[in-house]
Amino acid sequence: MTDFFGVPLPALFGQLVLGLVNGSFYAVLSLGLAVIFGMLNIINFAHGALYMMGALFTWMFMEYLGIGYWWSLVLAPLSVGIIGIAIERLLLQWLYKLDHLYGLLLTFGLALILEGFFRHLYGVAGQPYSIPDELSGAINLGFMFLPKYRAWIIFASLAVCLVTWYVIEKTRLGAYLRAATENPALTQAFGINVPLMVMLTYGFGVGLAGLAGVLAAPATQVGPLMGSNLIITVFAVVVIGGMGSILGSILTGLGLGLIEGLTKVFYPEASATVVFIIMAIVLMFRPAGLFGREK
Amino acid sequence: MKLKLIALAVTAALATTAQAQISDKVVKIGVLTDMSGVYSDIAGQGTVEATKLAIEDFKAQAKPDFAIEVVAADHQNKGDVSSNKAREWFDREKVDVITELVTTSTALAVMKVAKEKNKLALISGAASTRITNEDCNDVTVHWTYDTYAVSNGTAKAVVKQGGKSWFFLTADYAFGHSLEKDAAEVVTANGGKVLGAVRHPFPGSDFSSFLLKAQGSGAQVIGLANAGADTMNSIKQAAEFGVTPKQSLAGLLMFISDIHGLGLKTTQTMYMTDGFYWDMNKETRDWSKRYFDKMKKMPTMVQAGMYSAVMHYLKAVKAVGSDDTQKVMAQMKKTPVNDFFAKNGKIRDDGRMVHDMYLVQIKKPEESKYAWDYYNVRATIPAAEAFQPLSASRCPLIKK
Amino acid sequence: MNANRSVQIAYAIGLVLLLIAPALIYPVLIMKVLCFALFACAFNLLLGYTGLLSFGHAVFLGSAAYITGHALKVWELPTLLGILVGTLGAAGLGWVIGSLAIRRQGIYFAMVTLALSQMVYFFFLQASFTGGEDGLQGVPRGTLFGLDLADDTNLYYLVVAIFVGAFWLIQRTIHSPFGQILKAIRENEPRAISLGYDVAKYKLLAFVLSAGLAGLAGATKTVVFKFATLTDAHWHTSGEVVLMTLLGGMGTVFGPVVGATVIVSLQNELADKVGSLVTVIMGVIFVVCVLAFRRGIVGESIALYKRMIGEKTE
């Protein structure tokens, strides 16, 4: 077995794969944040809580209704999306004319409500969710042991990211969306129902969070607090990438996951903070973010 | 036995006539525990029920002339929450004794407040040996077990089976550090070798990167210096990443509730050390059935120990006829603990209640005949060996 | 003159209430309220008067709590010196975080402060001097002028003195020329720049001042409770201080005090009765404030009062 700077290769690749798994979550979540921000000018603090709900719904479907993983993969993001649409119609739409900070504050309140509610129901301890039979077990790659489920997370997240990117950048629907982002009034004048698009965008954005939640359910414990710490890291990812571009947020998410994985190999003490340190450095030299433009 | 009882009754009567000093005629017990977090199965509501059972039995047996009240609260495994609650209970609610205190940080926090307010703390769930060493005081009793007691038996047994090289996966707070340290000492003392350790946040959910480290170490045995849900997750994820069965896991602190949650298929043939098993004899079975009727689960040692501690405390209050902390404490230390949980248990001056512990091996699924039939008790570790000897104590109260 | 007079009367009544309160209410609870009120006032200096929403202010509360705890326990400094060291430490940290964060504006500023505070939180979690999850326990309260501060009543008057002093300092700052420039930045940053003010410098100064005062609150809190824990530095606490200020009324003098009093007493009353639902209640208050009650209790009361006496609002 060979070494790489004194680190055995299996350990290095293992951590890199795990980094990529985390990076996939960062990518899907920051993508959702970017899509919502582009359209609503709101930073969705409830994103972590909605991610948690995606996972919790998956668990509840199984526990109470006997619905398995594959159906949950569709149903849970859909449910989260519908809840998102309700949130947008009932609460967020009253804030569009105010300072953007109020959107952050409102969604922060929402995050507290959702987190507290599920904590009340299930306690802080996680609920276990088993890996679907088709994906259990591992592939021995010779240089490392790759659990099939982790590979699936990476594959599924990348697919979702690419489809989203394609829809927004390459289709007619995406063109309307981008137009509405640039100039809502003008787009409305062209006969496009902008409020409807805003609503659906929010629903789609949080649906992505819900999907990430489903993917996470078998890999970690499903618990009410799983989203809140993750979302702060994702905020840092968003600041690093800048929210200007869809592809930018995907790449930043994956890249930072990998860097985190490397840190776990070479200097594990910093693995929790490395993303924030990078954010500080980016702020010093490129305040608008790697892919952002200063407005 | 009878003579002793009479003697006790006489002393009690004398003491009562001399000075009946139970403030407000009420003894108030505060159960401060983890009601919703990772340790709620080990301790939690079950310890409140165990406390109530003890009060029920005490009332039936001793017919006390004082009332007994129980208050309970969730400390969320946080030191500051516990400390605030303890202060408030002692200051405003006239609580006489705070019990349970799973997680070391909450126990250490409450012990300090108890000392300051001169009230009692009876600890069942917390595990660190710090409680009776560096941080010991004269108002605390550490009742059920500690990291020394549980790691001692298990680590010794595993090393003897040939598991010579160890790597620790440790929960990053006082309890985990204490468990790792105690186990590592046992491993090296028995001719084993410790290759390293990695610390994970508490409570953790994703242990994969830590397990990869453990895997990379090449150690034969991965010692899990964590507890509750953390241990259960580590065991599950170890299987996912192919760590087991190439390397074997040793749960240094496991409870019967963990075995129940993981199932015998995953845990079979593992060794662990426990302070109580419901299926030992008629006494333990009788009490555990009563507990089961209330909680629909068999008791862990923390819950059974809770009963024992509260009972012993109430007997002492009755005997001295006062809820004065120092008097009750002296009485508790003077009297041996005898109930279904402990035989001839003794409270030492460092606050450690010493009693027999049991080395058990988890049954194979086919050996289990009825519900909760999980353990083969392999050895009884006598009280004198089970706990850290006083000669090694770092407690300032112990004069050498 | 009239308005001035009523404010003065309000101050006097408040002070008298503070002085006699420990006879009526559990002093530790009032001290907790005062610490959080000071924390919220410090935060309000930034949000209400400079228009900067810091979403990581708990880290200043927490860092001062740890530094003071360490200073009193390990270095065995006198109590007041320990509090001072903690306050200066928080101000120093405020300078570092502030200089990075003011590079972005609005929502980004909030996210950057949140992320940087999370970084410091992880540092506290891992550093050995904080005791990690166990917290820094057993901090001695010490003595002052021969008075034993272990006695709750003695300590209470020290806390009142600290609070009143800091509150006075904040009022002076707001009404000073410096405070006027801050308000100008809040109202219209480009105009302040075109008037020739070094806006970045003023923002940073406000940030450092606010961080230092938040630190003073944290340091005092450590002395009261004898410990410092991770909760102090957690983002939940950052959210709480935003809520206190919002509920009481941002940009008002008494708003944060009212908000802190309401939130702390609410948490204290409800914690045992509803358990984890406290978080839900906090969240609901947040949502209601943002949607329908943006001026907060004090702001709305002032508006109501002005309407009643027939003055035109705004």
CA–CA separation, B169 and B200 (whole Å): 7
- Given CB atoms, is C128 within the 8 Å cutoff of chain B? no
A65-69, B8-12, B391-395, C50-54: least confidently modelled range: B8-12
Written as one letter, the residue type at C137 is Q
When pLDDT is cut at 50, 70 and 90, the band that residue C35 belongs to is very high
Q: What are phi and psi of B122, to 5 degrees?
A: -110, 110
Q: Quick one: residue A147, left, alpha or beta (phi over 0 = left, psi -120 to 50 = alpha)?
A: beta
Q: In chain A, at which residue ranges do the beta strands (DSSP E only) sit?
A: 3-4, 7-8, 138-140, 145-147
Chain A neighbors of B208, CB-CB under 8 A: 18, 150
Which residue has tokens 């609260």?
A: B73
Whether residue B393 lies inside any domain: the answer is no
Residue B89 lies in a domain: yes
Before B203, cis peptide (omega within 30)?
Answer: yes
Interface of A to B at Cβ within 8 Å reads 8, 10-11, 14-15, 18, 119, 123-126, 128, 131, 136, 138, 140, 145, 147, 149-150, 219-221, 223, 226, 261, 264, 268, 271
Task: Compute the nearest-CA separation of C15 from chain B (Å).
Answer: 25
List of residues 6+ apart from C126 with CB closer than 8 A: A269, A272, B172, C132
Report the number of distinct structural domains present in chain B.
2
Q: Is residue A293 part of a domain?
A: no
pLDDT at residue B355 in the model = 95
Hey, are the CB atoms on B36 and A10 less than 8 Å from each other? Answer: no
Bridge partners, B375 (sequence order): B362
Nearest CA in chain B to C222: B80
B neighbour chains, 3+ CB pairs within 8 Å: A, C
Residues spanned by the domain of A271: 3-285
Residues in A closer than 8 angstroms to B36, CB to CB, are 119, 123-125
Q: What is the pLDDT of residue A5?
A: 66
Residue of chain A minimizing CA distance to C53: A101
Q: Which of B85, B98, B102 is nearest to B43 (CA)?
A: B102
Name the residue in chain A with its Cα closest to that of B44.
A123
Answer yes or no: do B253 and B161 share one domain: yes
Which of A194-198, B193-197, B198-202, C137-141 has the largest mean confidence?
Answer: B193-197
Give the model's pLDDT for residue C132: 75
Minimum mean pLDDT range among A67-71, A180-184, B381-385: A180-184
B400, part of any domain:
no
CB contact under 8 A, C275 and A273: no
Greatest CA separation for chain C = 60
Chain B residue at shortest CA distance from C133: B173
* C-alpha distances in Å from residue C166, one per residue of A17, A163, B146, C157, C209: 52, 55, 47, 14, 11
Least confident range of A273-287, B307-321, C36-50? A273-287
Half-sphere exposure of C20 (CA within 13 A, CB side): 5
Residue type, A128: P
DSSP state of C128: G
Query: Taking CB atoms and an 8 Å limit, are B108 and C229 in contact across chains?
Result: no
CB neighbour list of residue B3: distance below 8 Å, 6 or more residues apart: none
Q: What is the pLDDT of residues C186-245, one digit of tens each?
A: 988 889 899 888 999 999 999 999 999 999 999 999 999 888 888 889 998 999 999 999
Rounded CA-CA distance C254/C260 in Å is 10
C135 touches chain B (CB under 8 A): yes
User: Do B187 and B330 reside in the same domain of the chain?
Assistant: no
pTM tops 0.80, yes or no: yes
Element spanning B113, H or E: helix B104-117
Does B397 reside within a domain? no
Report the domain count for chain A. Answer: 1
Write out chain C residues lying below 8 Å of B172, CB-based. Answer: 125-126, 132-133
Which residue of chain B comes nearest to A261, CA vs CA?
B209
Q: What is the block-wise mean pLDDT of chain B (400 residues), using blocks of 10 residues?
A: 53 47 85 85 91 95 92 85 88 92 89 93 92 92 93 89 92 86 92 91 79 87 88 85 84 90 83 93 94 93 96 94 92 94 93 94 92 92 90 86
Q: What is the pLDDT of residue B4?
A: 56
- The H or E element spanning position C138 is none
Query: Both tokens of residue C274?
Result: 């509803």
Same domain, residue pair B94 and B189: no
* Residues whose CB falls within 8 Å of the CB of residue C250, separated by 6 or more in sequence, listed in order: C44, C47, C48, C256, C296, C299
Report the residue count for chain A. 295
The first and second tokens of residue B56, run together, are 């029920």
CB contact under 8 A, A126 and B36: no
Shortest distance between the Cα of A238 and any Cα of chain C, in A, equals 9
Strands (DSSP E) contained in C88-166 are 143-144, 147-148
Judgement on whether residues B188 and B269 belong to the same structural domain of the protein: yes
B373 and B330 within one domain: no
Quick one: pLDDT at residue B172? 83
- Chain C residues within 8 A of A110 when measuring between CB atoms: 283, 287
Q: What is the mean pLDDT of residues C145-162?
A: 89
Statement to judge: residues B226 and B369 lie in one domain: yes
My answer on whether B135 and B161 are in the same domain is no
ipTM, interface predicted TM-score of the complex: 0.88
Instruction: Record the tokens describing residue B248, joined without a space.
Output: 């074997």
pLDDT for A293 equals: 65
Residue A10: list chain B partners with CB under 8 A.
215-216
Q: Establish if A8 belongs to a structural domain.
A: yes
User: Domain check: are B270 and B325 in the same one?
Assistant: no
Is any Cβ of chain B less than 8 angstroms from the Cβ of C24? no
pLDDT value of position B335: 94
Specify if A84 maps to a domain: yes
Q: Does B16 fall in a domain?
A: yes
Residues B314-338 as b/e (b if ≥16 CB within 10 A, e otherwise) read: bbbbbbbbbbbbebbbebbbebebe
Min distance B246 CA to chain A CA atoms (Å): 12
One domain, residues B25 and B102: yes
**Do B249 and B270 touch, CB atoms closer than 8 A?**
yes
What CATH number should be reported for the domain holding residue B63?
Answer: 3.40.50.2300
Residue at A36: amino acid letter: I
Is the residue at B287 inside a domain?
A: yes
Domain of residue B186 covers 148-274+357-380
Tell me what pLDDT residue A123 has: 73
Q: How do residues A208-267 score in pLDDT, each as one tens digit?
A: 999 999 999 988 878 888 888 789 889 989 889 887 778 888 999 999 999 998 888 888
**pLDDT beyond 90 at A156:** yes
What pLDDT does residue C230 have?
86
Please indicate, yes or no, if residue A292 is contained in any of the structural domains: no
Q: Are C137 and B84 inside 8 Å of each other by CB? A: no
User: In the numeric block, which tokens belong to residue B106?
Assistant: 């909450």
Do B240 and B371 have their domain in common? yes
- Could you tell me how many CB contacts below 8 A there are between chain A and chain B? 66
What's residue C164's pLDDT? 94
Instruction: For residue range C166-179, list pLDDT tens digits in order.
Output: 999 999 999 999 99
Chain A residues inside the 8 Å CB shell of B35: 123
Asked if B292 and B269 sit in the same domain, the reply is no
Q: Is residue A117 domain-resident? A: yes
Are B376 and B310 contained in the same domain?
no
* Closest partner CB to C276 (pick from B36, B78, B88): B36
Q: Give me the residue from A15, A124, A138 closest to B212, CB to CB.
A: A15
Quick check: is A98 in a domain? yes
What local confidence, expressed as pLDDT, does residue B118 receive? Answer: 94
Contact C227 B80 (CB under 8 A): yes
Q: Does position C32 have pLDDT exceeding 60, yes or no?
A: yes
- Please report whether residue B391 resides in a domain: no
Q: Which CATH number do you get for residue A148?
A: 1.10.3470
